Amino acid sequence: MLSVLSNRTYRHLFAAQVIALIGTGLLTVALGLLAFKLAGDRAGTVLGTALAIKMVAYVLIAPVAQAFTSRLPRRAFLVGTDLVRAAIALTLPFVVQVWQIYALIFVLQSASAAFTPTFQATIPDILPDEQDYTRALSLSRLAYDLENLLSPTLAALLLAVVPYNALFGGTVVGFLCSAALVVSVSLPIVARTDLQGGIYDRTTRGLRIYLATPRLRGLLALNLAVAAAGAMVIVNTVVIVQGLLDRPQTDVALALGLFGGGSMIAALTLPRLLDRLSDRAIMIPAAALLGVVLMGIAAMTWGGTIGWPLLLGTWLVLGIAYSAVQTPTGRLLRRSTTPEDRPAVFAAQFALSHAAWLLTYPLAGWLGPSVGMPSTLAILGAVTLAGVATAARLWPAAEPDVIEHAHSDLDVRHPHLHGGRRHAHAYVIDDLHHRWPARAG
């Protein structure tokens, strides 16, 4: 897996990602402490609202930002968004009103919504070999999981010697280092041929390609499945551990650590599996496992038979299945787009996946106190399995890359036809291919 780090450009971008993630983790801890300072017992409400604002920014800003920035050089754009995030983090220690937190978080997360899809869409151009790209995706998954484990630990160590406001300084340093690493490399330039349309066309282009591609329609359903299971873990682990099992606070961190550890196990294992199996053969069974495990925990909770060791084991399995669905996503997006359309489709995935979280986060939080934890587990398990069933129906089991098709709308002399209206090639939705051939699903 580490062989891809021999590519200097990717190595620098991966380091930029890791450092920025650590900075973001420090920001999360510092933001919680700032919210408590300003709002006291209402800190949870403040943080919940801030998370909701984050998701709204992700859903609304990513496609729009991509449309406006498609003419800009990638490196300058990535560096610019890092500098914006650093500037916002620098101002957060001076906040004295809760509304100021909300406003600054919206700007900061809007910059992240512009940065992340562009960053993700750049990696396939740097690593065109599919095996290399698969390993890069697994490394990226590991980076996210390690951030979840290391950032709180680093924050605790820093808080032992500095005030919490200093954590914002760590966030600023993280974003500045990320910008410096991006500046240190040259990024591929992708020629754009689709910029003649208006802002509406460019904003919706990625979404239109996404929804016209069968495997990506299946991915959309899997986004909902993963978000339902993930929201259950993130929102309600504390309720299960401390409320149902009467365990100490430290065991909440242990349970979440097992979930992250499972995700890391999957990320380390997947590259070899994906060399032999298709994305669909891994992602749909893994998503089904998420739903089955949630339903099983619901049954045990109803029966009063769930115990601490069993919960740890199931959280480990949930982490493995969660990562097995999430990690190959970039491969699907890469297969389904031309290089020039890749940023738009990555932005569409970014927005749509976070829209699923925007639905499931409040659902997981509201159901617990309203209907009880066993019913919450069962409902979110059912949502997960419904997403899996929908994905299996929308995503054809046989999906060849090369598809024979005809162009009745093009002149036979058009360069794309090479002298014949009916031909075969790797099929993606673009300006010459507006809908998926019926025979292909």
The dihedrals phi and psi of 57, each to the nearest 5 degrees, come to -60, -45
Checking if the pLDDT of 440 tops 50, the result is no
Domains and CATH numbers, the chain: 1-189 (1.20.1250.20), 198-396+410-441 (1.20.1250.20)
Q: pTM of the predicted model, to two decimals? A: 0.81
**Residue 441: per-residue pLDDT:** 45
- Bigger pLDDT: 45 vs 341: 341
Q: What are the counts of helices (DSSP H) followed by strands (DSSP E) for the chain?
A: 14, 2
d(CA 414, CA 86): 49
**Residue 420: per-residue pLDDT:** 67
Dihedral Cα 132, 185, 26, 345, nearest 10 deg: -60
Mean pLDDT of 340-369: 86
Lowest mean pLDDT segment, chosen from 79-93, 191-205, 411-425: 191-205
Residues whose CB falls within 8 Å of the CB of residue 25, separated by 6 or more in sequence, listed in order? 147, 148, 150, 151, 152, 154, 155
Q: CA 27: distance to chain centroid?
A: 19
Q: Are 74 and 122 in contact (CB under 8 A)?
A: yes
Q: Report the relative pairing of strands 402-406 and 422-426 from DSSP bridges.
A: antiparallel
99: exposed, middle or buried (Cβ count in 10 Å: 0-12, 13-18, 19+) = exposed
**Using 50, 70 and 90 to split pLDDT, how confident is the model at 382?**
very high
Question: Mean pLDDT, the chain, as a whole number?
Answer: 83
Q: Note the pLDDT tens digit of each residue in 223-255.
A: 999 999 988 988 888 888 888 888 887 788 788
The dihedrals phi and psi of 404, each to the nearest 5 degrees, come to -80, 135
**Using 50, 70 and 90 to split pLDDT, how confident is the model at 222?**
very high
Q: Note the pLDDT tens digit of each residue in 174-202.
A: 999 999 999 998 887 765 554 555 556 66
Q: Are 279 and 387 in contact (CB under 8 A)?
A: no
Q: Which of 97, 82, 127 is nearest to 35 (CA)?
A: 97
**Residue 79: per-residue pLDDT:** 92
The dihedrals phi and psi of 426, each to the nearest 5 degrees, come to -60, 120
According to DSSP, the residues that pair with 424 across neighbouring strands are 404
Q: Are 223 and 388 in contact (CB under 8 A)?
A: no
